[in-house]
Amino acid sequence: SISGGSRNISPSSNTTYTGTVTGPGGTSSCTAPITVTSVPVIIPAPSCSMSVSPASIAPGSSSSLTWTTTNVASASIDNSIGSVSNNGSTSVSPSSDTTYVGTFIGNNGSTINCSASILVSSVPVTPTCSMNFSPTAVVTGGSSTLTWTSTGATSGIIDNSIGSVTPNNSTSITPIGASTYTGIFTGPGGSATCSASISVSSTGCVTNCGGGGNNPPNVRLARTTFPGEEPEPFFVYLNQVPYTGFFGNLFNKVKFIMVSVPNIIMAN
C-alpha cells in the first residue's frame, strides 16, 4: 500500500499538481496548487546636475554650461542646444538672462529635469588685460614666450607684426633687439591697453675679434718712467696679447698658418 511521500519541485510558473490513487475500494484524486512569484528587476533611477561658469557675464561674452548624469539613456537641452551626450559641456553666449533646462530620460523610462541660469549684466564690463615675457631677457637669436590674458574682451591686437589675436593666448618671440610689445584688447565695455618688454644682450664679438675668445679684447696701455731712465716707446707687440698673432706659442703659430694660407690662396 502507499501511505504517502514527498518530492522537491521547481516550477517556473504557477502550477497545479494533481494526484490520483487507486485501491480495492476505487479511485480518488486530489490537487495541490503552487504560485510562482517573479523577482522584479530594479533599474536605478536617473539623476542629473547642471551648472554655468561664470554665472554672470557681460553682453557678448560667453560662459561654459556643464551637465552630468547617471543612469540616463538620452539627454537634451533647450534654448536651441538640442540632443547632447549624457555628460558634457558647451559654450553659451546669451544676449539676456537665460535659464537652460535639460531633459534626461532614465534607463528605467522615467524623465527628470535639471536647470542652470546665467545672468547677463546690462552694463558691459570694462576690459582688463596683462602681458608678460618669460624669460624677460634673452641673448641675440634667443626666443621668449609672450603671454597675454584679458577679461571682458572679445578681440585683441598686438603690435610689432603680431597683429590680431584672441583675448587669451601666447606666442614665441625672437626679438632682434630690446623691444616693448603693446596690446589693445577690445570688448563691449571699451578697450584696455597693456604691454610687456624684453631685453636682448649680445653674445659678444663673433668676427674679427682677436684675443682668441668670444668677447672683444680690452687692452689698456700704461707706462711708468723711473728716475734716471729714458722713457720707453709707447707700444705693445701682438705676441704680448694672448692667442694673437704669429708670435704666440707653437700651437697658435700652426693655427695662424692654417687659417691664413687658404685665405691667401683664395685671394689670388
Q: What is the pLDDT of residues 59-107, one digit of tens each?
A: 888 999 999 999 999 999 999 999 999 999 999 999 999 999 999 999 9
Provide φ and ψ at 77, rounded to 5°. -130, 140
pLDDT above 60 for 165:
yes
Average pLDDT over residues 206-223: 50
Name the residue ranges covered by the structural domains of the chain: 47-120, 128-201, 238-267
Domains 47-120 and 128-201 share a fold: yes
SS (H, E, C) 125-147: CCCEEEEEEECCEEECCCCEEEE
Q: Which of 4-8, 20-24, 103-107 has the highest mean pLDDT?
A: 103-107
Q: Which pLDDT score is estimated for 249?
A: 59
- The CATH code for residues 47-120 is 2.60.40.2470
Whole-model pTM?
A: 0.40
- Between 17-26, 95-104, 215-224, the lowest mean confidence (pLDDT) is in 215-224
Distance separating alpha carbons of residues 204 and 63, to the nearest angstrom: 51
Higher pLDDT, 220 or 250: 250
Domain topology for 128-201: Immunoglobulin-like (2.60.40)
Q: Which pLDDT score is estimated for 124?
A: 75
- Distant-in-sequence, close-in-space partners of 176: CB < 8 Å, separation ≥ 6: 140, 200
Alpha helices in the chain, H assignment, sequence order: 250-267
Share of the chain above pLDDT 90, in %: 56
